[in-house]
Structure 1
């Protein structure tokens, strides 16, 4: 990746915000292992950079969704523990062994199949975390007898290590009794089988909502990057998260739209009077969805400006004050929680959630990292 870029659109990533969020959440759970979830390229922020930084400040366990993501981290020198939370193909078990990666077992059949594919080429063990279905109904099993047999199969095989058992809250960010019901079910199931080194169910909202000592670890993703999963969690949380992302660009062209003239594809936006239009070098290929037409971005002086007309693949247009000039900075997503351009406000306008807004920001937008007064750039386009 290059540390150079040749466009005005960029994502600023505040790594010190990640440190703040990590320490604040860990403070609630001082005895638990903190598993930093860096799947989907660390929610679009750059998994290798995030892993390198988090390992420097003390994180010793990461989680990803796929084996490919885990191998990428290993190939870039990440030596900490890595758990693949998704289910890998049993025939790929040797890759997990080769790269010293923990895997998820969803059922007995998977364990039996994975064992049959283990080769003697790699004289190492692989760590296995059993996935419990406590209500999400996505992966895993709730059959205690099956889980007991899974543990027996793991422990009777000298290449497998029974390291963890876990689940995932389906409704931790909702003000309902569902979360307590699922947690009780998880405790009931795991209480009937042998307890491994790591028992974990708390995701980001679970970590902010449930503070007890039943689990040994917690998995934090979106909140590590500074975002609450719902207004409910924000209201009840004792942790003040610090947003880590700012998406900005600069005006690249200016022109006057005369009264009655249309703008952009289809000319659906029509000027009711003469107005000044600024063109920004950001479009839906960068992650600014076409649904964001009508959203208000912000100039550095605080003036909010309407995105006018359809958003193009590589650009969009905004209606601006007369004194706006080429080169003026424009904030699309602010790292200020209370801004009308906050990640939450932006995501609400887009009809989605912060998770999706983050991962939508495409690879061609350079990531500029800031930490302790120093920074560097990752530009995946220029490799």
Structure 2
């Protein structure tokens, strides 16, 4: 029996005035941040880290506005890199980690720069380079103390000497990654930088120094100019979020993401009545409540149960009861109505909530809050 085709019609995105939950990304703020960073790090260049969908901001829209202002993009996976290529992004892209053998050819076809720290990957790349009669660019990751990946310090110079003998391999860059750059007192960073600089000096004397040396993440970029090298490899600061305390005065950053939802129902409960699963909140007096269309399936952590704060009607409102999959309940007053805006990250009236505040309440870091905002939450772009 012949099956008839099934046509799926996708609805157009609603205007923000009709959306229940959405994240708004200010592209002008990202541009302003990049301008401020470029001025601060000059003459170093920017390697823009846009892995994890540009930290939840949207890798494709972000890469489109940044291509003219950054040296290259950096991502975590071949899939992330190919997604950019398929969107028409032709700017250089670096994958920060070793890739599995079955993905090598896919990356090479898309002219994606790979990171190496062991022997099998560069051998495979050299073979492809010879078959295609072209050079393939690589970056070398050196483990100076992060102890996650990378070639060991005592093997690094010999490894680059060996790489230099492989036909078709062009060693474009060399880098390391700091384990404790966000700490204020930082002997570990000093030690890592010292180990790395010893290797760089040896490579320079042997005339093996690649053209791009990069060490600084956002934290190191802000507080240690001696880490800037040829390029800084940054993500969080692009989006206006500062991983350090006390640096705002000399590098103004504009937060690019606002997360909003709306009140979908209101009501009242009496003394002793509970809220949500488990009835973990019990009212000590009659209160007004507002249910907002935000839950853990949207990336709003269940750890915010009975502790979260949102802005409704220009006032901070406490989350009461458990965060559910799709909704959460807030303690309000009788001025709150169905359809009212609820700000989870951003400003309303004279109040502001940032991702770092949510991270502290949930015992995590800003990065996890941003990357955890789920695909179910539409991203709206303003310029």
TM-score by length of 1: 0.89
Within the candidate set 169, 172, 179, 1:160 is matched to 169
**Would the alpha carbon gap of residues 361 and 136 (structure 1) be closer, same or farther in structure 2, given more than 3 Å must change?**
same
1:202 aligns with 2:216: yes
Q: Report the CA distance between 1:45 and its aligned residue.
A: 1.1
Rounded to whole Å, the distance in 2 between the matches of 1:113 and 1:122 is 13
Higher relative contact order (CA 8 A, sep 6+): 1
Determine the structure 1 residue equivalent to 2:159: 150
Rounded to whole Å, the distance in 1 between the matches of 2:276 and 2:24 is 28
Unaligned runs of 5+ in 1: 372-383
1:185 aligns with 2:199: no
Within the candidate set 33, 43, 52, 1:21 is matched to 33
Within the candidate set 225, 229, 254, 2:239 is matched to 225
1:318-329 alignment, distance < 5 Å: 318-329=330-341
Aligned residues of 1:28 and 1:211 also touching (Cα < 8 A): no
1:97 aligns with 2:111: no
> Aligned Cα RMSD in Å?
2.1
Aligned residues of 1:200 and 1:218 also touching (Cα < 8 A): yes
User: 1:53-85 CA distances to partner (integer Å, 9 max, x unpaired)?
Assistant: 112x52241000111111111111001111000
Aligned residues of 1:279 and 1:318 also touching (Cα < 8 A): yes
User: 1:99-144 CA distances to partner (integer Å, 9 max, x unpaired)?
Assistant: 111110112354335545x376645432110101111111112334
Determine the structure 2 residue equivalent to 1:87: 98
Determine the structure 2 residue equivalent to 1:296: 309
Aligned residues of 1:201 and 1:215 also touching (Cα < 8 A): yes
Rounded to whole Å, the distance in 2 between the matches of 1:122 and 1:308 is 62
Determine the structure 2 residue equivalent to 1:239: 251
**Would the alpha carbon gap of residues 201 and 237 (structure 1) be closer, same or farther in structure 2, given more than 3 Å must change?**
farther
Within the candidate set 121, 128, 131, 2:138 is matched to 128
User: 1:275-323 CA distances to partner (integer Å, 9 max, x unpaired)?
Assistant: 11111011000011111122121124x2111111111100011111111
**Would the alpha carbon gap of residues 181 and 258 (structure 1) be closer, same or farther in structure 2, given more than 3 Å must change?**
same
SS in 1 for 2:139: strand
Aligned residues of 1:108 and 1:147 also touching (Cα < 8 A): no
Aligned residues of 1:290 and 1:310 also touching (Cα < 8 A): yes
Q: Report the CA distance between 1:182 and its aligned residue.
A: 1.2
Determine the structure 2 residue equivalent to 1:307: 319
User: 1:238-275 CA distances to partner (integer Å, 9 max, x unpaired)?
Assistant: 21211111111111111111222111111121111111
**Would the alpha carbon gap of residues 20 and 317 (structure 1) be closer, same or farther in structure 2, given more than 3 Å must change?**
same
Rounded to whole Å, the distance in 1 between the matches of 2:215 and 2:12 is 38
Determine the structure 2 residue equivalent to 1:362: 374
Determine the structure 2 residue equivalent to 1:280: 292
Unaligned runs of 5+ in 2: 1-9
1:347 aligns with 2:320: no
Aligned residues of 1:97 and 1:122 also touching (Cα < 8 A): no
Q: Report the CA distance between 1:237 and its aligned residue.
A: 6.6
SS in 2 for 1:135: coil
Aligned residues of 2:125 and 2:169 also touching (Cα < 8 A): no
Rounded to whole Å, the distance in 1 between the matches of 2:57 and 2:356 is 17
